[in-house]
Amino acid sequence: MTVPSKLESLAFTRITGGAARSELALTSLASVLDVQLELTAVEESAAHGAALLGGLAAGLLEDGDAAAATVRVARSVDPEPALQAAYAEGRERFR
């Protein structure tokens, strides 16, 4: 399977929000991107991110690495091989 160059080095991606509540959406997205998805433990990650940025600005967190260390992963979703093949075939038709 040929992966677009921007995604070649992507080992995983994190997802949250509405799409993260649908197993079908998660499996499909993981398969299309050919990457493991990590679901964050905090569902409201936008609010969590805003709090982390505030903590950085106020000096409560040392740096971005300290902020990133607070993110917890609840579970992960792997690509589905059968879906990967179907998506790759469809992608080739439209190139």
pLDDT value at residue 62:
94
> Dihedral through CA 42, CA 26, CA 4, CA 69, nearest 10?
20
At 39-74, the pLDDT tens digits run 999 888 889 999 999 999 999 999 999 999 999 999
Write out the two tokens for 44: 């409201």
**pLDDT band at residue 80 under the 50/70/90 scheme:** very high
- The one-character DSSP state at 6 is G
pLDDT value at residue 94:
73
Q: How far apart are CA 20 and CA 27, in angstroms?
A: 10
Give yes or no for residue 95 having a pLDDT over 80.
no
pTM of structure: 0.71
What integer is the mean pLDDT of 28-33?
A: 89
The answer to whether the CB of 38 falls within 8 A of the CB of 26 is no
Amino acid at 94: F
Write out the two tokens for 43: 């569902």
